[in-house]
Structure 1
Amino acid sequence: MPTRVYLDHNATSPLRPEAQAAMLDALKTLGNPSSVHAEGRMAKAILENARSVVAEALGAPRRGVVFTSGATEAASLALSPALSAEGDAAPIDVLLIGAGEHLCVLQGHRFPSDAVEIVPLTREGAISLEALDAALARRSGRRPMLALQAVNNETGVVQPVAAAAARVHAAKGVVVCDAVQSVGRCETTFATTDADILFLSSHKLGGPMGVGALVFRDESLHLQAPIFRGGGQEFGRRAGTENIPGIAGLAAALTAATADLAGEATRLANLRDALEREVLKVAPDARLYGIGTQRAPNASAFSIPGLAPRTMLMALDLENVALSAGSACSSGKMMESHVLAAMGATEKEALRASFGWSSTQEDVEVFGKVLARVADRMRSRHSAA
């Protein structure tokens, strides 16, 4: 079978060897972490070690880490008016959402529709701080929650979370940050974001699918109405027996991903920049999204005038190059991009290439050759038609 070039790490990253080894070791552990016997204590030790790894990586208290089935569940848990902390004088009654947020945020909240407002993006793809100021002014006297991702999953644009958080905190509000695409790629902690809640997903880091974490800056924050109720696991925030092998894999992947964050960021940015040079070599008029502002080092979104992204995606796949067209989380469907629409782009879709721990310079070189063939073939067909 021909070797495939995988450039879709924002959708999921291949399982790291460290994560696989940790999962295999955890699978040998018999006990339920809620049991008090020796087997249960062994499972509990794996669980709590992983909790400490996540807490240390994000700068959180250990008891602020809640393991979930992934980022979608974490978003649904956090985006709730039932979130509160000791001493709160008023309930959260407004949810502000950046217009470029992932669908699990746009659709996963538990606020009434009339309490939700979408905050526009700039043409560069970052949330408009001026529009946020206006939204907060319109909701003056009410306590807001802001949902804002650290890095956009389609364009790689870094969002001004700390600047937005300053505004929301001045209004006595709470900031929930989707850190799925930033953890392990950019420095992402509570200190750098000033968020109150962060959430992440294991499989974006090279860990297993089906596990993530919801992390609270202050362990006094609690959920009055958790989605899952039962035995009181995860400090009463998320019931259900914990996925010990998955959580062990998450911790191992996170440790590997953050071991040399600056060095890996430089390597990934070099690969991204090289890929964009290949795109511009094939199509000097190509549109690269978000290049006028800060981007994560590993992702590029682009379109080539006259060449349909969906057709290009399928043609590249047939030649063993895997990219995506926007978010992968749309039930396998290729949909028009709400992110591009929020940026005011005339294009409705773009191709996304994203790199990760297993990416190489050879991947970029093969991509460039295949892209040139695909573009020439598509242009020839258009000319013949």
Structure 2
Amino acid sequence: MRDESDGPVSAYLDYNATAPIRPEALAAVVDALQVVGNASSVHHPGRDAAYRVEVARRHLADLLNCSPGEIIFTSGATEANNLALRAAHRRGARIVTGSAEHPAVLETSRDLAQNEPGSLTVLPMRADGLVETVALEEELGRGDVGLVSLMAANNETGVLTDLTPVVKAAHAAGALVHTDATQMIGRLTLDLSEVDVDLLSLSAHKFGGPQGVGALFVRRGTPLPFRPLITGGGQEKGWRAGTLNVPGIAGAGAAAAAVSRDLADDVARVTQLRDQLEHMVTTAVDGCRINGQQAPRLPGVASITFAGAPADAVMAAMPRIAASDGSACASGAPTPSHVLLAMGLSREEAECTVRFSLGYATTADEIAVAAEAVVRAVHQVRAAMAATAGAAAH
């Protein structure tokens, strides 16, 4: 007998983990795979490969409104975060970051600080998912901060950081600013001519590019004690050695071009679909809470806590709906979401939270199917929990 979970997905609502590849990106990848040359070679096939890389670099720069020369291609946002933090860290200067950052930032910051006690400050979060700005101002006022790293949009709740005042305050204190914009790029506009961060990390597969390729933006003129993670042939102006992933980069560029074309329409449509999902679920299920709802959020993210219904059981009860009980990189972790705990949720509440994330290809039909499945799954799990508790009591 075939398990229902083996069937096709009825609704894909896990864009924060990875977005479906855009048709334009897939076509660019396939085209580039047929190019024989190494992008570092000077012969015609090599120049052909290099041309595709530079076209992609221009597309990404256009999306961010920066110079192509400020874009360094990497294997993804995790590498870009590592490269940014390690390049910007100065001995004797503190790193200030937030308690709800992605592990690629938190763990790298802790690694950098392990031989310098007191050189890392992790800011508390408010209940709405925003960084405690008073704490940030106090830390900057101490005068020994070298780098502030705060994500543009949270990967679990979608809560947005207002980067402009952060940059202004940090620069006034002599600190550089890095932002992990992995979830922001492709979902909302981030104009680097207006948001004066020094470094920015991104990953192509979050906005419809292929997996395994990302980028680091380094603002021209940023003073950095340069330390590449990968040394060798000196590709990417010495920032990242190794043969360039031409197909992946070409796909990333094509996805960026598609985002530039469609973003305004996608934001309005995805916001409406997210609000529709939240309304349909919360009106049919008692004891729901939407995390981060009181703060500005990404258009397509709904983090919902279902009291008395563990997230793993809810997802098991709706196998045709692709959602998440937290960050994909932490899937299967024995501890609940550090993001939700930082916002003040209890361990039990965090373990009863499901993240739904929508994107450019999400349809109204998917939302209707998902809402019905979620409501049914939560009721089913709660009934099973109650039955188990009743049997135990007797």
TM value normalised by structure 2: 0.91
1:122 aligned residue (111, 119, 126): 126
- The alpha carbon displacement at 1:337 in A equals 0.9
Q: Is the 8 A contact 2:317 2:381 kept in 1?
A: no
State the partner residue of 1:232: 234
**Matching of residues 51-62 of structure 1 within 5 Å:** 51-62=57-68
Task: Give the 3 Å change call, closer, same or farther, for CA 34–221 of structure 1 in structure 2.
Answer: farther
Cα deviation per residue 1:194-248 (whole Å; 9 max; x = unaligned)? 2111111011011111000001122555552111001110001110010000000
Q: Is the 8 A contact 2:98 2:149 kept in 1?
A: yes
Residue 372 of structure 2 is aligned to residue 369 of structure 1: yes
Task: Give the 3 Å change call, closer, same or farther, for CA 46–92 of structure 1 in structure 2.
Answer: farther
Task: Structure 1: give runs of 5+ residues left out of the alignment.
Answer: 85-89
Q: How many Å separate the matches in 2 of 1:234 and 1:171?
A: 31
Q: AA paired with 2:367?
A: V
Q: How many Å separate the matches in 1 of 2:92 and 2:243?
A: 30
Q: How many Å separate the matches in 2 of 1:261 and 1:344?
A: 33
C-alpha root-mean-square deviation of aligned residues, in Å?
1.7
Task: Give the 3 Å change call, closer, same or farther, for CA 222–23 of structure 1 in structure 2.
Answer: farther
State the partner residue of 2:301: 299
Q: Is the 8 A contact 1:64 1:219 kept in 2?
A: no
Task: Structure 2: give runs of 5+ residues left out of the alignment.
Answer: 1-6, 389-394
Task: Give the 3 Å change call, closer, same or farther, for CA 137–3 of structure 1 in structure 2.
Answer: closer
Q: Is the 8 A contact 1:324 1:351 kept in 2?
A: yes
Cα deviation per residue 1:230-281 (whole Å; 9 max; x = unaligned)? 1110001110010000000001111112213221101010110011012212
Task: Give the 3 Å change call, closer, same or farther, for CA 128–57 of structure 1 in structure 2.
Answer: same
- The alpha carbon displacement at 1:134 in A equals 1.3
Q: How many Å separate the matches in 1 of 2:360 and 2:25?
A: 13
SS at match of 2:54: helix
SS at match of 1:151: coil
1:157 aligned residue (146, 149, 159): 159
Q: Is the 8 A contact 2:97 2:123 kept in 1?
A: yes
Residue 28 of structure 2 is aligned to residue 16 of structure 1: no
- The alpha carbon displacement at 1:293 in A equals 1.1
- The alpha carbon displacement at 1:112 in A equals 2.1
State the partner residue of 2:336: 336
Task: Give the 3 Å change call, closer, same or farther, for CA 96–355 of structure 1 in structure 2.
Answer: same
State the partner residue of 1:289: 291
2:88 aligned residue (83, 88, 103): 83
State the partner residue of 2:41: 35
Q: AA paired with 1:125?
A: G
Cα deviation per residue 1:154-200 (whole Å; 9 max; x = unaligned)? 00001121111111111111110111101111111223432111111
Task: Give the 3 Å change call, closer, same or farther, for CA 201–92 of structure 1 in structure 2.
Answer: farther
Q: How many Å separate the matches in 1 of 2:80 and 2:240?
A: 10
State the partner residue of 2:209: 207
- The alpha carbon displacement at 1:375 in A equals 2.1
State the partner residue of 2:136: 132
SS at match of 2:193: helix
**Matching of residues 254-273 of structure 1 within 5 Å:** 254-273=256-275
Q: How many Å separate the matches in 1 of 2:68 and 2:33?
A: 24
Cα deviation per residue 1:46-102 (whole Å; 9 max; x = unaligned)? 11111111122112222111000000000010002x438xxxxx8772111111111
Q: Is the 8 A contact 1:6 1:321 kept in 2?
A: yes
1:63 aligned residue (44, 69, 81): 69
Q: Is the 8 A contact 2:63 2:259 kept in 1?
A: no
The percentage of aligned residue pairs carrying the same residue is 39
Runs of 4+, deviation exceeding 6 Å: none
